[in-house]
Amino acid sequence: MRITGFIIAFFTVCLTFGQRLFPTVIDTNRNARFIDLDASAESASTTMNNSMLNRFLFGGTIESGSIDQNFQRQKMLNTVGAILSGGIVYTDLKTDLFKHPKLGYGIQIGYDQIASVSYTDHLFGLMFKGNEQYAGMNMDLSSTVVRNIAFQKVGFGIILKPSRSSLFLNVVNVSDYFKGGVGHGTIQQSSGLDSVTLDVEASMLQPYKSNFFTGTGLSLDFNYNIPIRFFRNSTAVLQVQFRNLGVAYVEGGIKRHKLDTIHTYTGFTVDQLFDGVLSKENTVLDTLGVKTDSYSKWIGLPFYFQFSKAVNEDYEGKFQSLFGLRVYPISSYKPLVYLGVDYRPIRPLHIGLMATYGGFSTFRGTLYVQYMMKNFGFGAGCDNIVGSFSQKGFGQTYNLKLTCRF
């Protein structure tokens, strides 16, 4: 048997879309209005390649050979994750906000979603190869974490014209929230597949009322640009960014399901156990001794911090170095670092190539192209070159950026 329902619930939530890693091109025009549109889509994994990931994204049958190859690649703890983001920002540098000549303003709307799964090799084998291979053995599920949050925002910001630094205050609507984890967990299936022994400490959080308007909150987006003297007295711009730093209030509160047990249950196989937990009936949950209580009415938003070197549009040379660090304070996301070069063969055109490590995946290459004319700019790229063209890659990314100046 296969625990098909658990597979779908466990992985589909994470294989939606992903994050943008476009370096910022600093436009030093202090007397203009801009409309910027950004959109990005990425899936990423440390050990599961596109021969499996793409089946969750686009449908289709997962071949047994692909399962076997990916099963051999699994480590004690693995990650699948995604970040979907997009938005429109209107920037007005012609207007003097509060009648101050150095202040402009901006208005933005955006969407963000972050989803991830940290899972063990035993859990992968259980889901995709079945429970019979684990007869008489212990299956380790410790440190398994599943999370998903989606939210929309509308914000107003103050912009410092000389440096293009900014601070936005956003009103946030949380449309989806879920978090579950296993702190310590082992499952032993009897040799005869007729009983299950659990030694598990686990919890799951979800709103009492789940709809599009699950929660409301506030967040800050902060961007500070620091001009410095760089190589051969050229000017470079370092950026310090915080995005989505805030909290949301969940109307109706959040319920927590808790399981802390050491017990042997007869009459269950592992497949039946998972199918029962995921069903709408409470029979299996009651048998396992799962307790439900009220947890909180507040949740933190998945903010990130980034430190990076931006592309200076006023630089006269053809090559500029790029580097940066991005950190999400969640356990499944490793600090992401990148290093590369921006090449400008002609003034309107930027071509970038970077090496990236971390996030929800490991090492990968990033390629982008941006064309900046007087009143219009276009950019496209991918944060995983191999994954965008090969089944052997560990994820794929597509980015789009449009800029209009008037």
**How far apart, in whole angstroms, are the C-alpha atoms of residue 60 and residue 39?**
26
Cβ-contact 188, 138 below 8 angstroms: yes
- For residue 3, the model assigns a pLDDT of 36
| CA–centroid distance for 294 within its chain | 27
Q: Which of 107, 109, 106 is nearest to 87 (CA)?
A: 109
Cβ-contact 366, 385 below 8 angstroms: yes
Other CB atoms within 10 A of residue 251 CB: 15
- Count of all residues that appear for the chain in the document: 406
Cβ-contact 161, 103 below 8 angstroms: yes
Cβ-contact 14, 148 below 8 angstroms: yes
The one-letter amino acid code at 177 reads Y
**How far apart, in whole angstroms, are the C-alpha atoms of residue 133 and residue 224?**
55
- For residue 6, the model assigns a pLDDT of 40
| Angle made by CA atoms 257, 263, 266, in degrees to the nearest 5 | 105
Q: Which DSSP helix (H) or strand (E) runs through 270?
A: helix 270-278
Domain coverage including residue 256:
4-405
* Each residue's pLDDT expressed in tens, for the chain with a length of 406 residues: 333 344 444 444 444 334 455 566 666 566 689 999 999 988 899 999 999 988 877 778 888 899 999 999 999 999 999 889 999 999 999 999 999 999 999 999 999 999 999 999 999 998 888 878 888 888 999 999 999 999 999 999 999 999 999 999 999 999 999 999 998 889 888 887 778 888 889 999 999 888 899 999 999 999 999 988 877 667 888 999 999 999 999 988 999 989 887 877 776 666 666 665 555 555 556 667 788 888 889 999 999 999 999 888 878 889 999 999 999 988 899 999 999 999 999 988 999 999 999 999 999 999 999 998 888 999 999 989 999 889 889 998 889 999 999 8
Give pTM, 2 decimals. Answer: 0.86
| CA–centroid distance for 340 within its chain | 22
C-alpha R_g of the chain: 24
What CATH number is given to the structural domain containing 113?
A: 2.40.160
- For residue 267, the model assigns a pLDDT of 63
| CA–centroid distance for 10 within its chain | 16
- For residue 118, the model assigns a pLDDT of 95
**How far apart, in whole angstroms, are the C-alpha atoms of residue 15 and residue 54?**
9
The number of folded domains in the chain is 1
Burial class (CB in 10 A: 0-12, 13-18, 19+), 97: middle
Match 């640009």 to its residue by tokens. Answer: 225
358 Ramachandran zone, left/alpha/beta (phi>0; psi -120 to 50): left
